[in-house]
Amino acid sequence: MGLIVVSNREPYAPHAGDGGHVTWVPSIGGLTAALDPALQHAGGTWIAWGEQQPEIERVDLPAEEPRYRLERVRLSDAEVRDFYHGFSNRALWPMSHYFIERTKYRADWWRAYETVNRRFADAAVRSYREGDTIWVHDYQLALVPRMIREALPDARIGFFWHIPWPSSEVFRTLPWDRELVDGILGADVVGMHTEEYTRHFLSACRRVLGAVTNGEAVTWRDHVSRVVARPIGIEVDAYEELSTSPEVEETAARVRQSVQTRILLGVDRLDYTKGIPERLEAFDAFLDRHPEARRQVTFVQIAVPSRERVESYRQLRAQVEGLVGRINGKHTRDGWSPIQYIYRGVPREELVAHYRAADVMLVTPLRDGLNLVAKEFAASSRDGVLVLSRFAGAADELPEALQVNPYNPEGLASALLQALNMPLDEKQARLLRLRERLRASDLRSWADGFVREVEGA
């Protein structure tokens, strides 16, 4: 009895080197970072879009010490355009994050979404052996649970939606609202990050489908699904260990040495939901209001390139780069510049070294399903302060962070001041409490717990 994970993104991408030798490099992103250790632990099959060339159909991973099998689904260029960049990232993503003005609903994208979901469902059905548990992930694959259920009526199927589930007022703008909810209800257990999202989902089941709900149970088509809030955790021990390793300590010291001032840090995929321009504006306002802070602080922003084939992401990049230039132009003095902007993903060790080096971590999304960066920082830092948006799903679980409204630049600037002036013992006490809570619900218990709930369904 194994586990079958189905997700859009593949956990490792192949890179062809000289002489045709292929190395498998871990993908950057919340979902794969969380599930790779879970499947390594459980063993089984991972079905995902084989995004990167070369065309390899299946491989055992991780290459050095294989723990599970990756089955790579092939998509044509047109499918990638319409299913992924189109319906997933220009309809479902902005709609779910309340960016209605950025959504575009197109029937041809929807048809591609159905076709590709069918492809993933077929792959899962092919891999399935009696007794297996199937775990489907995220907004790109919402129709897959129903499609699998039709082929395998008795299979145990779980589904996890990693992004916010919006209020029905917003969700019902989707022309295929019924189909989407019906697709998800093919699962026995539906997981989301917060109670608020599950409440919104249950209300969509009632209002959109007319399904009957009773507490967390939804009855639809003679089948009962449970809808539960299960926020994803991180590998706390791994972050603690890595953050205190000599290599990371050394890199952290090098970062501090090169920056020379106190460090404010931002780490995000370059996405309009993450509130990067708003954060930069707030920092600008802070420097205006506190000229004495010049030469005392530097804002380091790591922005990981993302979805560059979508026009609004290219616009966002230009907007962020324009702001960095304008703010640096305005405040730079005597060899000190207020913002260091890193436009690329960095290796995990370097990321954690930045968490260690930071005095203040700014996690200020306008809307975020959960946000793993906030948790990773809390597990890695020894003397830093976490400033966290109240619109990140993780806010419920992290009350010791300084919580802010990212739409309010004055509020953000005051939180920054409070963080920079916080006494060391208070910082350490807050981090300690944060870490205790992270430890109580870490990644392993999240993944094992969810799989057990599906098995018990």
| Tokens 């999240």 found at | 446
Which ranges in 395-457 belong to alpha helices (H)? 409-420, 424-440, 443-455
Q: To the nearest whole angstrom, how small is the minimum distance from the Cβ of residue 26 to ligand GDG?
A: 7
368 near ligand GDG, judged by CB under 6 A: yes
Question: CA-CA distance, 227 to 161, in Å (whole number)?
Answer: 11
| Angle value at C-alpha 141, between 140 and 142, nearest 5 degrees | 105
Q: Which residues of 333-343 are buried (b: 16+ CB within 10 A; e: fewer)?
A: eeeeebbbbee
Interacting residues of 163 by C-beta distance below 8 A, sequence separation 6+: 93, 96, 97, 138, 139, 369
208 vs 387 by CB, closer to ligand GDG: 387
Q: Which of these segments, 113-121, 199-207, 309-317, 370-378, binds ligand GDG (CB under 6 A)?
A: 370-378
396 is catalytic: no
37 near ligand GDG, judged by CB under 6 A: no
353 near ligand GDG, judged by CB under 6 A: no
Choose which of 359, 376, 397, 442 interacts with ligand GDG (CB under 6 A): 376
Choose which of 73, 302, 357, 362 interacts with ligand GDG (CB under 6 A): 302
208 vs 276 by CB, closer to ligand GDG: 276
Amino acid identity, position 198: T
Q: Which of these segments, 39-47, 317-325, 364-372, 396-404, binds ligand GDG (CB under 6 A)?
A: 364-372
Lookup: tokens for 118: 């069918």
Applying the rule CB under 6 A, the residues between 161 and 220 that interact with ligand GDG are 162-163
Choose which of 348, 382, 433, 439 interacts with ligand GDG (CB under 6 A): 348
Measured in Å, how far apart are the chain's first and last C-alpha atoms? 15
* Window 244-283: contact mask with ligand GDG (x via CB under 6 A): -----------------------x-x--------------
117 vs 194 by CB, closer to ligand GDG: 194
231 near ligand GDG, judged by CB under 6 A: no
Choose which of 5, 6, 28, 192 interacts with ligand GDG (CB under 6 A): 28
Lookup: tokens for 75: 């998509």
373 near ligand GDG, judged by CB under 6 A: yes
406 near ligand GDG, judged by CB under 6 A: no
Choose which of 5, 6, 33, 205 interacts with ligand GDG (CB under 6 A): 33
Which among 341, 349, 308 is positioned nearest to 325, based on CA atoms? 341
Torsions phi, psi for 384 (to 5 deg)? -105, 175
212-215: Cβ within 8 A, 24+ apart? none
Choose which of 59, 204, 372, 385 interacts with ligand GDG (CB under 6 A): 372
237 is catalytic: no
The residue at minimum Cβ distance from ligand GDG is: 30
SS3 47: strand
Strands (E), 230-287: 262-269
304 near ligand GDG, judged by CB under 6 A: yes
Which among 139, 351, 387, 147 is positioned nearest to 251, based on CA atoms? 351
309 vs 326 by CB, closer to ligand GDG: 309
Applying the rule CB under 6 A, the residues between 46 and 105 that interact with ligand GDG are none
Strands (E), 317-390: 339-342, 360-363, 385-389
370 near ligand GDG, judged by CB under 6 A: yes
Q: Which of these segments, 75-83, 141-149, 341-349, 403-411, binds ligand GDG (CB under 6 A)?
A: 341-349
Question: CA-CA distance, 116 to 118, in Å (whole number)?
Answer: 5
Interacting residues of 156 by C-beta distance below 8 A, sequence separation 6+: 132, 133, 134, 188, 454, 455, 457
Of the residues 97, 137, 162, 200, which is catalytic? 162
Q: To the nearest whole angstrom, how small is the minimum distance from the Cβ of residue 369 to ligand GDG?
A: 3
Choose which of 228, 346, 422, 457 interacts with ligand GDG (CB under 6 A): 346
| Tokens 């948790």 found at | 375
Lookup: tokens for 59: 């491989």
CB atoms within 10 A of CB 4: 26
Choose which of 3, 6, 31, 180 interacts with ligand GDG (CB under 6 A): 31
The 3-class SS string of 363-397 reads ECCCCECCCHHHHHHHHHCCCCEEEEECCEHHHHH
316 near ligand GDG, judged by CB under 6 A: no
Contact set with ligand GDG (CB under 6 A): 28-31, 33-34, 162-163, 232, 267, 269, 302, 304, 345-348, 351, 368-373, 376
The residues carrying an active-site annotation are 162, 368
